[in-house]
Structure 1
Amino acid sequence: MTTLSSQPQPALGPRDQSPPKQPSTAVYEALTAVQNRIAPVWPLKDYVAVNPYLGYATQDFLGARHTLRSVSDVELLMSGDYYRQQFDGGSFSKEDIEAAVDELVAAGVTGSERIDVNQVLAFLAGPQGAVPTADADFTKSGEPNRAVRTLAETYDSHTGSNWSRRVCEAVSQQCASHYDQGQAVWQSGWRELPLYQAWRAAAQHNRTFEILGVRGFRRFVSKLPNQPQDAVAALLSRLGVPEQLWTDFLLCEALATPGWTAWTRRQDRQLEQQGRVDTDLVGLLAMRLAHEVALAEHFDFRVDWDSVVSRHNKLRAEAGQPSGEALLRYALLRACEIAFRKQIVGGLQSRPEAAPRVHDAPALAQMVFCIDVRSERVRRRLEAASSGVETYGFAGFFGLPIEFLELGEQEGSPQVPVLISPKFRVYEELETHDQALIAKTHQRRALVRLMRKTWKGFQASAISAFAFVETAGMLYGLKLIARTLRLNRGRPGRFDGVRRAERDQLAPSLAGLPQQGVGPGEQVDMAESILRGIGIVDNFARLVAFCGHGSQTENNPLKAGLDCGACGGHSGESNARLAAKLLNQPHVRLGLAERGIAVPADTRFVAALHNTTTDKLQFFDLHQLPPSHEDDLQQLQRHADLASQQTAVERLATLPGRGVEDLVRRSLDWSEVRPEWGLAGNAAFIAAPRDLTKRASLDGRVFLHSYDWSRDEGFAVLEQIMTAPLVVANWINMQYYASTVDPVHFGSGNKTVHNVVGQFGVLSGNGGDLMTGLPWQSVHDGAHYQHHPLRLLGMIAAPRAAIEGVLAKHREVSDLVSNGWMQLVAIEDGVYFRYSERQQWEPLSTPAGLEPVA
Structure 2
Amino acid sequence: VAVEVAARTVGAMWPVHSAVAVNPLSGLQDMAFEDAAEVAARVWGARSHLTEQQYAEALRAGRFTKADLLAAAEDFSLPADQIVDYLLHRADWEPTGSSIFVAEQLLAGTSDADIAAYLPRPRPAPRTLGEQCGAHNHVSGLANAWTSLANQGLPPAGGLWRAFRESVQDNGLRGLRDAVAQLPADPVPAVSVLMAGVVPPGEQVGYLSRLLGRDPGWAAHLTQRDPRLVGDLLAIRVTFDVFVAAARGHRDWVAPALADDRSWAVLQVAPVAELLPVATAADALRLAAELSEPARVGLWQRAWEQRYRNRLVDRVSARAAEPVSDPLPEVQAIFCIDVRSERFRRHLEAAGDVETFGFAGFFGLPVRHETAAGEISDQCPVLLHPSYLITETDGPAPNRMGLAAAMRGGVVTSTGQPASAFA
TM-score, scaled to structure 1: 0.35
Matched, 1:174 2:146: yes
Specify the alignment match of 2:238 in structure 1.
289
1:367 to 1:350, Cα distance in 2 relative to 1, 3 A: closer
Name the aligned partner's letter for residue 562 of structure 1. Answer: C
Q: Which has the higher contact order (CA 8 A, sep 6+)?
A: 2
1:53-88, Cα deviation, whole Å (9 max, x unpaired): 233333322233333444442222222342233223
Matched, 1:254 2:199: no
1:149-548 to structure 2, matched below 5 A, reads 149-156=127-134, 163-180=135-152, 194-204=159-169, 209-210=171-172, 214-239=173-198, 241-269=199-227, 278=228, 280-304=229-253, 321=289, 324-351=292-319, 353-357=321-325, 359=327, 370-372=334-336, 398=344, 541=353, 544=354
1:76 to 1:366, Cα distance in 2 relative to 1, 3 A: same
1:96 to 1:126, Cα distance in 2 relative to 1, 3 A: same
Q: CA deviation at 1:283?
A: 0.7
SS at match of 1:41: coil
1:813-828 to structure 2, matched below 5 A, reads none
Name the aligned partner's letter for residue 235 of structure 1. Answer: L
Structure 1: unaligned runs, 5 residues or longer: 1-28, 157-162, 182-187, 270-277, 376-393, 401-526, 564-610, 614-666, 674-751, 760-764, 769-854
1:126 to 1:397, Cα distance in 2 relative to 1, 3 A: farther
C-alpha distance in 2, partners of 1:55/1:227?
A: 24
Equivalent residues of 1:238, 1:293 under 8 A apart: no
Aligned residues: 346
Equivalent residues of 1:38, 1:262 under 8 A apart: yes
1:374 to 1:147, Cα distance in 2 relative to 1, 3 A: closer
SS at match of 1:555: strand
SS at match of 1:347: helix
Q: CA deviation at 1:171?
A: 1.9
Matched, 1:100 2:72: yes
Specify the alignment match of 1:789 in structure 2.
none
Equivalent residues of 2:12, 2:26 under 8 A apart: no
Matched, 1:612 2:349: no
Larger radius of gyration: 1
1:621-651, Cα deviation, whole Å (9 max, x unpaired): xxxxxxxxxxxxxxxxxxxxxxxxxxxxxxx
Q: CA deviation at 1:293?
A: 1.5
Q: CA deviation at 1:337?
A: 0.7
Equivalent residues of 1:370, 1:396 under 8 A apart: no
Equivalent residues of 1:228, 1:283 under 8 A apart: yes
Name the aligned partner's letter for residue 380 of structure 2. Answer: L
1:306 to 1:121, Cα distance in 2 relative to 1, 3 A: closer
Specify the alignment match of 1:119 in structure 2.
86
Higher helix content, 1 or 2: 2
Percent of matched pairs sharing the same residue: 20
Name the aligned partner's letter for residue 143 of structure 2. Answer: V
1:775-818, Cα deviation, whole Å (9 max, x unpaired): xxxxxxxxxxxxxxxxxxxxxxxxxxxxxxxxxxxxxxxxxxxx
Equivalent residues of 2:68, 2:303 under 8 A apart: yes
Equivalent residues of 1:69, 1:146 under 8 A apart: no
Equivalent residues of 1:62, 1:322 under 8 A apart: no
Matched, 1:86 2:95: no
SS at match of 1:44: coil
C-alpha distance in 1, partners of 2:163/2:25?
A: 30
1:719-741, Cα deviation, whole Å (9 max, x unpaired): xxxxxxxxxxxxxxxxxxxxxxx
C-alpha distance in 2, partners of 1:66/1:291?
A: 28
Cα-Cα RMSD = 4.8
1:113 to 1:191, Cα distance in 2 relative to 1, 3 A: farther
1:101 to 1:757, Cα distance in 2 relative to 1, 3 A: farther
Q: CA deviation at 1:168?
A: 1.3
Name the aligned partner's letter for residue 312 of structure 2. Answer: I
Equivalent residues of 2:368, 2:379 under 8 A apart: no
Name the aligned partner's letter for residue 329 of structure 1. Answer: V
1:400-456, Cα deviation, whole Å (9 max, x unpaired): 9xxxxxxxxxxxxxxxxxxxxxxxxxxxxxxxxxxxxxxxxxxxxxxxxxxxxxxxx
1:643-722 to structure 2, matched below 5 A, reads 667=385, 672-673=387-388
Name the aligned partner's letter for residue 84 of structure 2. Answer: V
C-alpha distance in 2, partners of 1:368/1:350?
A: 19
C-alpha distance in 2, partners of 1:191/1:221?
A: 18
Specify the alignment match of 1:681 in structure 2.
none
Equivalent residues of 1:253, 1:285 under 8 A apart: yes
TM-score, scaled to structure 2: 0.65
Q: CA deviation at 1:251?
A: 1.8
1:32 to 1:177, Cα distance in 2 relative to 1, 3 A: closer
1:69-84 to structure 2, matched below 5 A, reads 69-84=41-56
1:627-676, Cα deviation, whole Å (9 max, x unpaired): xxxxxxxxxxxxxxxxxxxxxxxxxxxxxxxxxxxxxxxx26xxx24xxx
1:115-162, Cα deviation, whole Å (9 max, x unpaired): 61111111334579xxx9987889xxxx95625211111112xxxxxx
Specify the alignment match of 1:562 in structure 2.
380
Structure 2: unaligned runs, 5 residues or longer: 108-114, 116-120, 265-285, 371-375, 396-404, 410-423
Equivalent residues of 2:56, 2:88 under 8 A apart: no
